A and B are shown apart, each in its own frame.
Chain A
Amino acid sequence: MSDELAYLGRRVVAGKMSRRDFLGRAAALGVAAPFANMILANTAGAQTPKKGGALKMGLVGGESTNSLDPALWLTQVPQNFGSTWGELLVVQSPEDGSPQPVLAESWEASDDAAEWHFKIRKGITFHNGKDLTPDDVVQTITRHADEATKSAALGVLGDIDTVTADGDYVVFKLKRGNADLPLLLTDYHLVIQPNGGRDKPDEGIGTGPYKVEVNEPGVRHMSVKYDGYWRDDVGHVDSVEVIVMNDNTARMSALQSGQVHIINRVEPKTVSLLERVQGVVIEAVPSKGHYVFIMHCNTAPFDNADLRMALKYAVDRQQMIDQILLGHASLGNDFPINQSYALFPEGIEQRAYDPEKAAFHYKKSGHSGPILLRTSEVAFPGAVDAAQLFQQQAQAAGIQIDVQREPGDGYWTEVWNKQPFCASYWGGRPTQDSMYSTAYITDADWNDTRFFNEGFDKIILEARAELDDAKRAELYREAATMVRDDGGLILPMFNDFLDAHREEVKGWVKDPNHETSNLRAAIRVWLDQA
């Protein structure tokens, strides 16, 4: 399907097909307009890169507490800066979500997907001059998979039994089959470091196109081109500077006055204003991230399936998108997967706002009295307004929601995953399997809806080891339906990534996997200076 779309995209760029026809064909292939537009934009962006120039990025999400140790990365500044100096084994394709080789040249799996052989690319050097060896890969993976580690990637690597070097290969033996292993290795924490970073995890030595020059956490980071870099399709500018700008207005003015080339997290409210500024381009990309209201399925009154269903019908999703995110989002359907994922289950009916059905289920649940919804401005941008809007929408169905605003400081430790009903957000995961196993199977690390369903767990495990895509897709459809109809997840919207850059920045790849072009804007773009 994606081959055909890519072909059609090239025809549009060549002027042999109109944009309108392209979107029509894409719809016929079952691809929604925002995604089709994205494919088109990426095809059109394929021009010849120019080399040179000093790229400056002003990003939110940097603190004086940041470290260069990839295991500790949580926010955008270390993540983005990390992709300038570090590399992964595999990255996810912006077009179809498939695994693409980076430091791993190729890979193959055993029939039960329980044993994997990754061939490690040869002739690559770290910035300290040392050659990359399969042993460095083994050490990196085992460091992150170690129970004693502080790595945020620990959960992703739970299935791994042993990792060993074998000639040019690294062999993964898993506790059970996992057809998605290459995609799990796209986790941004898994930067390959010399000896796995065991000697000095925060020294900032990697194989990336740029080497670390300045590291002032919470202020700025800078990296300059590494002469011995192994490929020339990324890393076009001479140097990359990431400046921490946590204030929205500071980022906007820095971009407008041309002091930075790229900013992230444009506020939905200000997009239309920024669009009118000359020399500025907005990059809105549909993402896997979603804004949610979560109910604990095992806590009264949310242990009642009818009450959960009532609340799901009581949300007007379109109104929420229009008023909270000013249209920069796509509809959610109460399961955490959208079209950005491979094997997206097409054709599940979109749940719509229906106060009558909500009132029917509410009555059937037998519940009475107000329902307490906790929210905070840190839950997601606009979460306080969204909760109040939800309150009004539910009123039409005769459901009374009390909104309680919680302090942002401590929200993730005191409210989220503790209180039975609150606002929250999820970033995307590389695969459906990793999304479900992170938060929806019974023993998930963060089962924040307390969704305990043995049948569901079995489906996820079965799908994990299934190498036949058609069978897998069918299993995922079943899983999605179960979460949608029985789970504690109210998912009104998938947010767009909203980034902006100066128009001299060319080659921006629209990538649904992570913001700022899957954290790789710095190495993908080039500067077209007059």
Chain B
Amino acid sequence: MGSSRILILIAQRIAMGVLLLFAVSALIFAGTQILPGDVAQSILGQAATPQALANLREELGLNDPAIVRYFRWLGGVLTGDLGTALSNGRDIASSLEDRLGNTLFLAAIAAIVSVPLAILLGLLAVRYRNGAIDKIISGLALASTSLPEFFIGYVLMLFFAVKLQWFPSVSTVYDTMSFVEKLRAVALPATALTFVVLAHMMRMTRAAILNVMQSAYIETAELKGLSPFQIIRRHAFPNAVAPIVNVVMLNLAYLVVGVVVIEVIFVYPGLGQYLVDHVTKRDVPVVQAVGLIFAAVYIGLNMIADIVAILANPRLRNPR
């Protein structure tokens, strides 16, 4: 009985996500249509002659009505065909594959370090709340979040790449590199990203657990003589999982879609730079494809957070 209700809830949530994705695809398409400027002019740049412009416009099919182009595009996406980039004629799907792989690699490394670290620090801060350890952890985390990411990147670069020369300042990764070489290449950008996302997750973990710590059953647990860490581990943390997962997912999404600055600074071939390059060239098919991927990442991760929240909620698991 209970499990089927959960299944229904989850199915509803997934259906919502898919619907949302379609809505976003329409928005993305509409948005790319109202960008100022013209694809042909952007491709040919300052040195374009009117004749060359007219030829290119014709060739790109920019003269069809927007609605026709939307459904043509949507049909392609559903069959896995993202089309070819207008600007250099390369297949979008295959170019995206490498870039997306790189972005996910960097995000994964940053997440593997930052998520456990943030939760651990959050737990520590709660255990020693309002003491020196709590204040040091919170202060450092807040400071690292307040600094803009390019600044953290430049500082890391100055000390660890230029002065000490432990890690390269250029993080370009190649297919031919071994895993360890890749790890070394992304060490600095991953560290910078860790600093950027750490504090948010840590603070939310701390706040969510502290919230639960006010509950009556925590007092009961204290009275029955459990140690502070056991209280947090067995009683407070499981009840605070939903908000923590939420904030972790938000930060993971940020690691995938919001790192263009770090990519540029460390010369990392990720999806962000790829998107920016194509936006400036008004390369609409690529902008649409990348926009859709970013939307899917956001919606997907939020969906996971919601599903975890459903599963973690005992009231939903055991309905009366």
Question: Which residues in A have some Cβ–Cβ distance to B below 8 Å?
Answer: 58, 63-67, 72, 74, 147-152, 154-155, 202, 216-220, 243-247, 249-250, 253-254, 256-257, 259-260, 409-410, 412-414, 416, 445-446
**In contact, A250 and B51 (Cβ under 8 angstroms):** no
Distance between B300 CB and nearest chain A CB, rounded to angstroms: 24
The stretch from B121-129, B153-161, B246-254 touching chain A is: B153-161
Nearest-neighbor residue (CB-CB) of B278 within chain A: A65
Query: Residues of A contacting B278 with CB < 8 Å?
Result: 64-65
Given pairs A65-B85, A413-B36, 19 additional interface contacts (CB within 8 A): A58-B170, A63-B281, A64-B95, A65-B88, A74-B47, A147-B55, A149-B55, A150-B55, A154-B52, A216-B269, A218-B274, A247-B267, A249-B154, A250-B169, A250-B170, A250-B265, A257-B169, A259-B170, A409-B36
Q: What does DSSP make chain B's interface, helix, strand, loop or mixed?
A: helix
Inter-chain contact B52/A149, CB cutoff 8 Å: yes
Contact at A202–B52, with CB atoms within 8 Å? no
Please count how many residues in chain B sit with their CB below 8 Å of the partner chain's CB atoms.
47
Segment 158-191 of B: residues with Cβ below 8 Å from A: 158, 161-162, 165, 168-170, 172, 174
A235 to B212, CA, bound (A): 70
Indicate if B19 sits at the interface (CB-CB under 8 A).
Answer: no
Report the minimal beta-carbon distance from B266 to chain A, rounded to whole angstroms. Answer: 7
Q: Are A64 and B169 in contact (CB under 8 A)?
A: no
**Stretch among B38-46, B195-203, B216-224 lining the A interface:** B38-46
- Complex formed: what's the CA distance from A217 to B56 in Å? 21
* Complex CA distance for A256 and B162, rounded to whole angstroms: 6
A206 to B155, CA, bound (A): 43
Interface on B for A, CB 8 Å cutoff? 36-38, 41-49, 51-52, 55-56, 85, 87-90, 95, 98-99, 154, 157-158, 161-162, 165, 168-170, 172, 174, 264-267, 269, 273-274, 277-278, 280-281, 283
| A160 vs chain B, min Cβ distance (A) | 15
Q: Provided the pairs A152-B44, A219-B172, A413-B42 are in contact, do residues A250 and B89 lie with their beta carbons within 8 angstroms?
A: no
Q: Which residues of B contact A260 (CB under 8 A)?
A: 170
Asked if B170 and A218 make an inter-chain contact with CB atoms under 8 angstroms apart, the answer reads: no
Bound: A75/B49 CA distance, A: 17
CB distance from A62 to the nearest CB of B (A): 9
Which chain B residues border A155 with CB–CB below 8 Å? 47, 49
User: In the complex, A150 Cα to B90 Cα: how many Å?
Assistant: 17
Q: Would B88 and A253 count as touching, CB distance under 8 A?
A: no
**CA distance in complex: A243, B168 (Å):** 14
Cα of A147 to Cα of B55 in the assembled complex, Å:
9
* CB < 8 Å neighbour of B273 from A218, A249, A410: A218
Given the known interface contacts A65-B88, A250-B264, A410-B36, the answer about A257 and B162 at a Cβ–Cβ threshold of 8 Å is: yes
- Supply 18 A–B pairs (Cβ within 8 Å), ascending by A: A63-B277, A64-B277, A67-B87, A74-B47, A149-B52, A149-B55, A152-B47, A216-B269, A219-B269, A244-B267, A250-B264, A254-B267, A256-B162, A259-B170, A412-B45, A413-B41, A413-B42, A446-B46
